[in-house]
Each structure stands twice: as structure tokens, then as C-alpha cells.
Structure 1
Amino acid sequence: MILREKFVVDVSPLRTSREFRYLFVARVVSILGLGMLAVTVPLQTFTLTDSTMHVALVAAVLGVSTFSGTFAGGVLADRADRRLVIAVSRGTAGVMFAVLALNAFLPAPQLWIIYVAAAIDGLCGGISATALMAVTPSLIPRDKIPAAGALMALTADLGSMVGPAVGGVVIAATNVGVTYASAAALTAVTTFCITRLPSLPPADATQESAMESLRSGARFAFGNRVIGGVLAAGFVTMLLAGWAVLIPEYATEVLNVGPASTGLLYTAPAIGAVLGSLTSGWTAGARRVGVAIFVAMFVSAAGLAGAGATSILVLSLVFLAAHGFGDAITEILRYSTVQRHTPDEFRGRVAGVWSAQVTAGAALGALVAGAVAALVPVQTALAAYGVTGLVCVAFLAVTLKSLRALDETPEPSYVE
């Protein structure tokens, strides 16, 4: 029983906090809707244009606007009621999903509406995600932050598996208009859940201008020895996220498998991540958090290196699942560490830096992986990508002494 409690994901935040339950449900429903759109938007765009370039451009518009939204969300979350920020941004996104549904039902759907919706939805998504990250610690006791991080990570991992699959089934059974309408309805549920939260203003709202607020937030985040170290570690973690661009060629040229098995290769890391989240109960009591972060990062990078070192499908799936497992544990530990060491008045802006890093790092990781694949055979590229990650992890473990030595106590103090 003790062993079970130590390792099984801690769900006590859901039992003890009504507000956190609303937040959790809001996130689950939101991620399901966004997962459906991850399939719907590119599929409709390609159907209308028969152009992969337009698919990429829509994705680029979404990415750039999301990146901008993370900074805007950070500033807003430290100046205004965070509940209102999340509710307005999610509500606006839901309106745009409804617009996309109406557009899809037109006799001649318009491409420009998809571009406009991508820009607005990306901005709203960046704002709401950043403000939501700043809100979570306000709803639960300090010692439950790792558990909350694990539950939030679990929603993202499950969403990455379930959302696109549900979207594909709905499109196959009906059409893209129904999928957009479903996403709009789910977003309405999300917005309702957020409105059930109490007013959540920052403890000490900043009076700085928007630009100065951004600068002071960045100074705090990167000047803090613990948070700065976590962000540096996160940059390597995000670079490793570029593995996905190697999979199509790897599946065809190395494993000699078809579309069904290729889909399994994409799913395997998500399965590993879910397993990591479900067995994350130990993270709440971890004291040598810095060491644990580096070990989890090592497992993540080693999984990619192992996948590149084999031409057997089953082994590739196991190694990619190990990558996802390590990545999930890294995310949970990094999240709880940042939240524990960030004063409330900086939470929005630090969350903005965190979210911007995720957005930019993943894109850069894809570019790095693509560049490596252009220079060497794909199997070597995947292995080299993972080995490079191992080298970076080892370098950070040696140089980030403050993070490596971090030993959390029951009541950790801010480290300046």
C-alpha cells in the first residue's frame, strides 16, 4: 500500500480543492477540443488548396501568434484578474471556432478566414495557457504543486493521444464543420468552468509599463539561479522535441513499415508520457530535485539514441516510449520547481517565459533535426540527435551547479 501511494499519481488536489477541479476539467475539455482541431485545420486547408505550403503557412501563423500570446498573457496575468484573462481569451477562441464552423458549412469556404482564425486563436491560446499556469499554485497548498503538475501533464499527454483520434473519427463520420462546432461547444464548457473560479488577482499587481514589465520578468526568471537553471534545462528538453520530423523517413527507410506502424511510432512517446505521469507520485517527496531532473532528461535523450540504434520496430517503440517517459517526468519536476521558487507577483511573466520557450524550442528542435537528417542517413541522424541530447544534458549537469545541488525542504525559500 505504501509503495502504491509513493508511485501512483497523487490525485489529492482533485479531492481537496473544488477550484482545482474546475480548472482541471476546463483543461481536459480544452485540450480535447484543440486536439480535434490539430487534425481538422490542416486537413481542411489542404482540401481547399491542395497545397502543403498553405498548410505550413497556417501552422506558422498559429505558431507566431501563440508565441506572441505567451508574452501578452504573462503581462496581463501579473496586472489583472487572472480568472478574467483566461475566461475572455478562451471565450474569444470559442467564437473563432464557431466562425470556422460557419465557414466550413458555406458552399465555398474561404481560406482567408482560416488564416485570420489561426492568428486570433493562437494569440488567445498563448494568453490563456500562460495565465492558467500562473493561476494553479493559488488554488492548492504548496506541498501539492508537484501533484498538480503531474495531473496537468497527464491531461496534455492523454489529449495528444485522444484528441486527434476523436477528430479524425468525427471528420470521417460527418465533416470538418461538425468538428469545428464540437470544438466551439467544448470551449464553451471550458469558459464556464473558468467562470466558476473565484476572483484571482495577482498578490501585488505591477504598475510598470508593459515593456518594462516584460524586462523585469525576464530579469527575475534568468537571474534566479534555480529558475534560470530550470529554463536552461528546458531548452535542451524542447530541442529534443524535434524528433517527430525524422519519423516518416525513419519508418520508411530504416524500419520498412507502412502508415499504421508509423502512427504507432508517433504514439509511443505519448504512451510513455502517460505512464510517467501515472507513476509520478514520488515526485512530491523528492528532495534532490535537480539530480532527478537531469536523470529524467538523460532517460529522454537515451530513448531517442536507442531508437536510432535499432531497425526493429518493437525496440523502436520501447525506446520512443522511454523518451516520452523521461520527458514527462522532466516536465513535472521542472514545473513544480519553477512554481515553488516564483513569488506570486512574477508568476504570470515567468509562465510567459516558460510558454515562449516551449513554443520556440520545439520549432528550433525540428529545424535542428531536419538539418541533421540532411547531412547524414536518417538512422544515423536519429541516433546522433539523441546522443547530442545526452552530451547537452551532461554539460548542463556539470555547469548548472545550483540546480544540481537543489535540495527541496518542506518549506522551500526563494533563491535569488
Structure 2
Amino acid sequence: MDLSDARHPFAIRDFRCFWTARLCSTLAQNAMVIVIGWQVYDISRQTMGLKQAALQLGLIGLAQFAPLFALVLVTGWTADRVDRRLIARLCIALQLLCAATLGWFSFEGGMTLGVLFAVAVLLGVARAFSMPAQSALAPNLVPPALLPRAVATTAIAGRVGGIAGPAMGGYLYAVAPHAPYFVGSALLAGSLLSMMLIRPITRTGIDGSRNPWRQMVEGLGYVFHNKLVLGAISLDLFAVLLGGATAMLPIFARDILHVGPAGLGHLRAAPAVGAMAIALWFSWAPLSRGVGVKMLAAVGIFGVATIGFGLSRWFPLSLACLAVLGAADMFSVYVRQSLIQLSTPNEMRGRVGAVSTLFISASNELGEAESGFLAALIGPVAAVVAGGAGAIAITLLWARWFPSLRKAENFEASAGR
């Protein structure tokens, strides 16, 4: 089938394999992440107070972020020089090893903070190499006209994993501490198999005779000189960095809302429910007008929902706020990823993707660390509310400092800038 004749990304065989691999891996990752967070907090609370245990949650986020920060130049350059399918396969295999290791320690009853932190670092290394490679691989599987739909469709896999994974992890952990890790291992094996089925792709290489370090830095230079891309990436970075309510979910589940590990699974899944609704909509009806202004509005709504969650003491209201938060975040992700992928030449996508990965992870893992540290200082509720207010302030500042974001009318015109 000629790719140019495809009317939807699912009509393309290799994209279906890619989507399946992402679905299986995100299910496993989200199931494991919620259990890792719960085990870190639960083990810490056996010997520490609430604020000290919150600090451990911050540190586990920092442990996952450190490899992405240290390896950002290398991972992007690797994604532009090495077969992106091979990188993705090796990263999934490393995650599979991590899941099996955690499952074994949980099964034997020997889980410790040291093991959890060591595996968190390895998972950070896997993500550091995997995310730039996979973000650069997806545009090679579909024609440019289908890329916005492919972004939204790929996000569906991530959000399905975000919905089912945490709930699955919470329920499996209630059955046995090792169960979520062993199920995760099986899912990662399925992900690896699906990635193996993607056929060779034609991609533009980078000049092997040029200085590798200079090539690595080119990704940073491209981002910082393209004000539209820089504004979109940095907006998400600072908004989510400040509004990292999800890092506090174990605290809210255990000590504020009193809903236990099963309730934690629902809390963790709620943002993905809202995000999936937006992703499903955009996979069939891509956004066509006012993309920049609407992205800014979505980030503002993200901040308002974060404040609502922090103030809520009623479990259904907390779930609703998290769902709105997730929907607003997905809206922003959809616009940002479409702008970046359409604006970046194929031979630069790995390096630009690595920079984007660093920003995304800074807003997630480093945001978790920031939230944990702030919660240790002023308490979890005040930390979440302050973070939401900060996200709103960032939105107003970025609307002023990056006028190209406000003026971005549609993806095609913006990509041509």
C-alpha cells in the first residue's frame, strides 16, 4: 500500500506495530510506576514521618530524571545515527529486565529502598534513549499529512496505558506485591515482539565525517533559535514542573483522602481518562485553527484543575479535577508535538527529540522531585495549590514572552516558519 493513499495511521501496517508496542510498554510502565511510588512511600513511612517520606518520593523522581539530563546530547545523536528501531528494542529489553528484577525482589520479600532507587536509575536510562528514538521513528512511518493524527493516535496508546496501567498495578499489588511486575514483564515482552515486526525504514543520516560533539549540540541550537518550538517546549516544562500534583498522589491516597492503594490506582488513572478523551477526538478530527491560543488556554485550565485537586477532600471531586487536568495536558501535548515534528527536518528529529525529552522529563520526574521537596517544606496540600497557581502565572508570562505561540494559527503555516 502506498503510504500517501492512507487515510488514517491505522491503515499502515508498521504504524499498527508501533502503536501496539507503545500500548504494551505504557501499560507495563504505568503499572510499575504506581507500585514503585507506593513501595517507596510505604517503606519510608515505616521509619519516617510524613514529610520525610514525601522527600523520598521527590528523590525517586530525581533518580529517574538524572540519566536523561546527563545523556541528552548522546541520546539524540544516537537516534540520528543508529537504527531507531534497534534503540527502541534495546530500551524495551532493559525495561523488561528491570520489571523482572523488581518482581523477584518483591516475590522474595526483600524489597528495599536501595533496590527501588537503583532500578529507577536504569529505567531513566532506558527512557533517555527510548523517547527520542521513538518520537523520531513515528514520523518515518506515516506521510506528513497524517502526522497530527498519528500524534493523537499514538497518544491514545499512552493514555490507555495511563488509565488501565495504574488501576491494574494497584489491584495486582493488592493480590500480591510481585504480581504487577511479572505482568509488566509479560507486557514488555509483547512490546518487544511488536517492535521487532516493524520493517526497515528509509531515513536521512547525518554526516559521519563531522565532529560528533558539534552534531550533538546542533539539536540544542535548533531548539533555542526556533522561538515557536522553544516556547512550546518550555511552556510545558515550567507549567508541569510547578503543577506536578501527580507526584503527591500516594500522600493524598494514604493520608488525605484515605482511599488506599486501590484508590491510588483510580487517582493515577483519572488524568489519563481525560487525556484519552481529547486524544480520541483529535485522532479523528485534528485541530485546524487557533492552535497557539488554544494551547495557552489549555495550560491555564491545567493550573486551575491542579488547584481544585489540591483543595478537594471529596474523592469524586478529586477524580474530576484530575480528569480535567489530564485533558488540558493532552491538548497541550498534541499541539506541541505536532508543531515540533512538522517543524523539524528528519535528520534533526532525534536530537531535537532528545531536547524535548529532557524538557518533558524535567516537567515530570524533576517536577515530582520539586513537588516532594516543596511538600516536605510546606505540606502536600499547600504544595499542590501553589503549583497550580504557578502554572497559571507561567501561561500568562509565556503568552507575552513568546508572541509566536499566540500567532500560531495552524500546523501547516507554523511549520513553514
TM-score, normalised to structure 1, is: 0.82
CA distance in 2, matches of 1:138, 1:246: 37
SS at match of 1:212: helix
Measured in 2, the distance between the counterparts of 1:242 and 1:140 equals 33
Moved more, 42-51 or 383-392: 42-51
Q: Give the Cα–Cα distance (whole angstroms) in 1 for the partners of residues 129 and 116 of structure 2.
A: 20
1:263-342 mapped onto 2 (5 Å cutoff): 263=264, 265-281=267-283, 284-307=286-309, 314-342=316-344
Whole-angstrom distance in 2 between the partners of 1:111 and 1:387: 33
**Is residue 154 of structure 1 aligned with residue 150 of structure 2?**
no
Corresponding position of 2:25: 30
Residue 97 of structure 1 and its aligned partner are, at CA, apart by: 3.3
| Cα drift, residue 360 of structure 1 | 1.5
User: Number of aligned pairs?
Assistant: 402
Corresponding residue for 1:78? 80
Amino acid at match of 1:23: F
Q: Which secondary structure does the structure 2 equivalent of 1:280 belong to?
A: helix
* Maintained 8 Å contact 1:146/1:283: no
Task: Work out whether residues 153 and 277 of structure 1, in 8 Å CA contact, stay in contact via their aligned partners in 2.
Answer: yes
Q: Is the 8 A contact 2:140 2:203 kept in 1?
A: no
- Say whether the 8 Å CA contact 1:244–1:266 is kept in structure 2: yes
Decide which moves more: 133-142 or 360-369.
Answer: 360-369
Question: 2: CA distance between counterparts of 1:96 and 1:363?
Answer: 18
Matched, 1:361 2:356: no
Corresponding residue of 1:258: 258
Distance change >3 Å, CA 115–CA 216, structure 1 → 2: same
Tell me, in whole angstroms, the C-alpha distance in 2 between the residues paired with 1:405 and 1:24.
32
Q: Which residue number in structure 2 is paired with residue 5 of structure 1?
A: none
Displacement of 1:111 after TM fit?
7.3
Cα displacement (A) at 1:239? 1.9
Cα deviation for residue 309 of structure 1 reads: 6.1
Q: Which stretch of structure 1 is more off in the superposition, 141-150 or 366-375?
A: 366-375
Change (3 A) 1:239 1:409: closer
AA of the residue aligned to 2:299: M
Matched letter for residue 351 of structure 1: G
Same amino acid, percent of matched pairs: 25
Q: 1:117 to 1:12 in 2, by over 3 A?
A: farther
Q: Distance in 2 between matches of 1:322 and 1:287?
A: 22
Contact 1:157 1:274 in 2 (8 A): yes
Which residue of structure 1 aligns with residue 14 of structure 2? 19
Query: What is aligned with 1:88?
Result: 90
- Partner of residue 199, structure 1: 200
Shift of 1:132: 0.3
On the 8 A contact 2:243/2:306 being kept in 1, the answer is no
Contact kept in structure 1, 2:248 and 2:371, CA below 8 Å: yes
Letter of the structure 2 residue corresponding to residue 233 of structure 1: L
What are the superposed Cα offsets for residues 187-217 of structure 1, whole Å, 9 maximum, x if unpaired?
A: 2221221121122364132434443222111
Equivalent residue for 1:231, pick from 230, 233, 249: 233
- Equivalent residue letter for 1:182: V
> Which residue does 2:3 correspond to in 1?
none
Q: Which residue of 2 aligns with 1:3?
A: none
Aligned residue in 1 for 2:184 = 183
Task: Provide closer, same or farther for how the CA distance between residues 181 and 258 of structure 1 changes in structure 2, counting only shifts above 3 A.
Answer: closer
Aligned partner (choices 60, 63, 67) of residue 61 of structure 1: 63
C-alpha separation in 2, matches of 1:271 and 1:87: 28
Residue 412 of structure 1, CA deviation:
6.0
Once the 2 structures are TM-superposed, how far is the Cα of residue 19 of structure 1 from its aligned partner?
0.7
**Displacement of 1:229:** 1.7
Do 2:163 and 2:270's aligned partners in 1 also have CA atoms closer than 8 Å?
no
Residue pair 2:163, 2:268 contacting (<8 A) in 1 also: no
Alpha-carbon offset, residue 349 of structure 1: 0.9
Distance in 1, Cα, partners of 2:59 & 2:120: 10
CA distance in 1, matches of 2:314, 2:172: 33
1:404 aligns with 2:399: no
Letter of the structure 2 residue corresponding to residue 33 of structure 1: A
1:386 maps to a residue whose letter is G
CA RMSD of aligned residues (A): 3.5
Contact 1:94 1:188 in 2 (8 A): yes
Does structure 2 conserve the Cα–Cα contact (< 8 Å) formed by 1:240 and 1:301?
Answer: no
Instruction: Name the CA distance, whole Å, in 2 between partners of 1:410 and 1:289.
Output: 11
CA contact (8 A) 2:206 2:347 kept: yes
Q: CA deviation at 1:395?
A: 1.6
Mapped contact 2:57–2:368 kept (Cα < 8 A): no
Q: How many angstroms apart in 1 are the aligned matches of 2:38 and 2:369?
A: 23
Aligned in 2, Cα 1:54/1:282: closer, same or farther, shift over 3 Å? closer
Contact 1:170 1:179 in 2 (8 A): yes
The answer on whether the counterparts of 1:66 and 1:124 sit within 8 Å (CA) in structure 2 is: no
Map 1:101-180 → 2, pairs under 5 A = 101-104=103-106, 115-176=117-178, 178-180=179-181
Alignment-mate amino acid for residue 191 of structure 1? L
Distance 1:245 1:83, change over 3 A: closer
In 2, Cα distance between the equivalents of 1:213 and 1:329?
32
Q: CA deviation at 1:369?
A: 4.6
Bigger drift between 324-333 and 45-54 goes to: 45-54
Structure 2 length-normalised TM: 0.82
8 Å Cα contact 2:60-2:369 kept in structure 1? no
Please give the secondary structure, in 1, of the residue aligned with 2:244. helix
